[in-house]
Structure 1
Amino acid sequence: MSPTTSTGVLKLASGISTLPDAAKAVEHVCAQCAAGLGSGSMTHLALLFFTSHHIARAEEIARAVRKELQVECLVGISAEGVVGGRTEVERSPGVSLLAARLPGVSLVPFATDEILPYDESTPEGLSKLARGFGADEALRASFLFADPFSVPAAGLVGAMNKARAHARIGSIIGGLASASEKANGNALILDDAVYRAGLVGVSLRGPVRVDTVVSQGCRAVGPTFIVTKARKNVILTLGGRPALQVVRELVESLSPEDQELLKRGLFVGRVIDEYKDRFGRGDFLIRNVVGVEESNQAIAIAEVLRVGQTVQFHLRDARTADEDLALLLDAQQLREPPVGGLLITCNSRGTRLFDRPHHDASAIARAFAPQIPGEAAARGGQSIDPGSPTFPLAGFFGAGEIGPIGDQSFLHGHTACLALFRSEPKA
Structure 2
Amino acid sequence: MDAPRAVSAAYSGSFSESASRALAEELRSKLGGDPQLALVFASSSYAPYLADLCEVLTIYGHAPLLVAVTGQGFLAEGAEFEAEEGFSMLGLRHPAMKAIPIAFTPEALETEEPTAWHGITGVGPAEAAGWILFANPHLVPVERLLRIWNRAYPGIPAWGGLAGGASEGETAVFLDRKPVEGGVAIALQGEIGFHIVVSQGCRPIGDPYTVTGADRNILYTLGSGSAYQALANAFESLSEREREKAHGHIFVGLAVSEYRDEFRQGDFLVRNILGADPSSGAVAVGALVRVGQTLQYQLRDPESAERSLRKLLQAEKIEFFLERPPLAALVSLCAGRGKGLFGVAGRDAGMIQELFPQLPAAGFFANGEIGPVGKLNYLHGYSASVLFLS
Q: Is 1:210 aligned with 2:178? A: no
Counterpart in 2 of 1:319? 303
Q: CA deviation at 1:55?
A: 2.5
Q: CA deviation at 1:22?
A: 2.5
Counterpart in 2 of 1:156? 145
Instruction: Tell me the distance in 2 between the aligned counterparts of 1:321 and 1:13.
Output: 28
Q: Is 1:93 aligned with 2:82? A: no
Counterpart in 2 of 1:383? none
The normalised TM-score by structure 1 is 0.85
Q: Which amino acid aligns with 1:109?
A: P
Pick one of 213, 219, 224 that aligns with 1:229: 213
Q: CA deviation at 1:50?
A: 1.3
Counterpart in 2 of 1:387? none
Q: Which amino acid aligns with 1:180?
A: A
The 1:32/1:347 distance shift into structure 2, 3 A limit, reads: farther
CA RMSD of the aligned region, Å?
2.0
Q: Is 1:368 aligned with 2:353? A: no
The 1:93/1:185 distance shift into structure 2, 3 A limit, reads: closer
Instruction: Tell me the distance in 2 between the aligned counterparts of 1:126 and 1:233.
Output: 28
Pick one of 204, 215, 219 that aligns with 2:203: 219
Pick one of 98, 108, 125 that aligns with 1:136: 125
Counterpart in 2 of 1:407? 375
Pick one of 23, 42, 45 that aligns with 1:29: 23
Instruction: Tell me the distance in 2 between the aligned counterparts of 1:58 and 1:246.
Output: 47
The 1:97/1:237 distance shift into structure 2, 3 A limit, reads: same
Could you give the per-residue CA deviations for residues 325-368 of structure 1, whole angstroms, max 9, x where no partner exists? 11111111202121111111111111122222111111110011
Pick one of 174, 179, 182 that aligns with 2:165: 179
Could you give the per-residue CA deviations for residues 64-84 of structure 1, whole angstroms, max 9, x where no partner exists? 212223212111112221111
1:18-417 to 2 correspondence within 5 Å? 18-37=12-31, 39-40=32-33, 42-113=34-105, 116-120=108-112, 125-133=113-121, 134-164=123-153, 166-167=154-155, 169=156, 171-181=157-167, 183-195=168-180, 197-334=181-318, 335-336=320-321, 337-369=325-357, 390-417=358-385
Instruction: Tell me the distance in 2 between the aligned counterparts of 1:319 and 1:135.
Output: 42
Q: Which amino acid aligns with 1:396?
A: F
Q: Which amino acid aligns with 2:351?
A: A
Q: Which amino acid aligns with 1:24?
A: S
Q: CA deviation at 1:412?
A: 1.7
Instruction: Tell me the distance in 2 between the aligned counterparts of 1:135 and 1:325.
Output: 33
Q: Which amino acid aligns with 1:297?
A: G
Q: CA deviation at 1:404?
A: 1.3
Q: Sequence identity of aligned pairs in percent?
A: 32
Q: Is the 8 A contact 1:16 1:28 kept in 2?
A: no
Q: CA deviation at 1:252?
A: 2.4
Q: Which amino acid aligns with 1:149?
A: H
Q: Which amino acid aligns with 1:286?
A: V
Q: Which amino acid aligns with 1:146?
A: A
Q: CA deviation at 1:135?
A: 4.7
Q: Is the 8 A contact 1:130 1:160 kept in 2?
A: no
Q: CA deviation at 1:158?
A: 1.8
Could you give the per-residue CA deviations for residues 270-304 of structure 1, whole angstroms, max 9, x where no partner exists? 22122233322322111222222445312122222
Could you give the per-residue CA deviations for residues 81-118 of structure 1, whole angstroms, max 9, x where no partner exists? 11111111122211110111122322221112497233
Q: Which amino acid aligns with 2:164?
A: S
Q: Is the 8 A contact 1:236 1:299 kept in 2?
A: yes
SS at match of 2:205: strand
Instruction: Tell me the distance in 2 between the aligned counterparts of 1:79 and 1:25.
Output: 20
The 1:361/1:29 distance shift into structure 2, 3 A limit, reads: farther
Q: CA deviation at 1:143?
A: 1.2
Instruction: Tell me the distance in 2 between the aligned counterparts of 1:131 and 1:29.
Output: 37
Q: Which amino acid aligns with 2:94?
A: L
Instruction: Tell me the distance in 2 between the aligned counterparts of 1:406 and 1:260.
Output: 35
Instruction: Tell me the distance in 2 between the aligned counterparts of 1:114 and 1:348.
Output: 27
Q: Which amino acid aligns with 2:379?
A: L
SS at match of 2:99: strand
The 1:201/1:103 distance shift into structure 2, 3 A limit, reads: same
Number of equivalenced pairs: 385
SS at match of 1:24: helix
Q: CA deviation at 1:264?
A: 2.9
Q: CA deviation at 1:142?
A: 1.3
Instruction: Tell me the distance in 2 between the aligned counterparts of 1:103 and 1:364.
Output: 26
SS at match of 2:110: coil
Q: Which amino acid aligns with 2:135?
A: A
Instruction: Tell me the distance in 2 between the aligned counterparts of 1:16 and 1:403.
Output: 24
The 1:184/1:418 distance shift into structure 2, 3 A limit, reads: same
Q: CA deviation at 1:248?
A: 1.7
Q: Is the 8 A contact 2:9 2:76 kept in 1?
A: yes
Q: Which amino acid aligns with 1:55?
A: A
Instruction: Tell me the distance in 1 between the aligned counterparts of 2:254 and 2:209.
Output: 10
Q: Is the 8 A contact 1:213 1:418 kept in 2?
A: yes
Instruction: Tell me the distance in 1 between the aligned counterparts of 2:76 and 2:282.
Output: 43
Counterpart in 1 of 2:10? 16
Q: Is the 8 A contact 1:285 1:405 kept in 2?
A: no
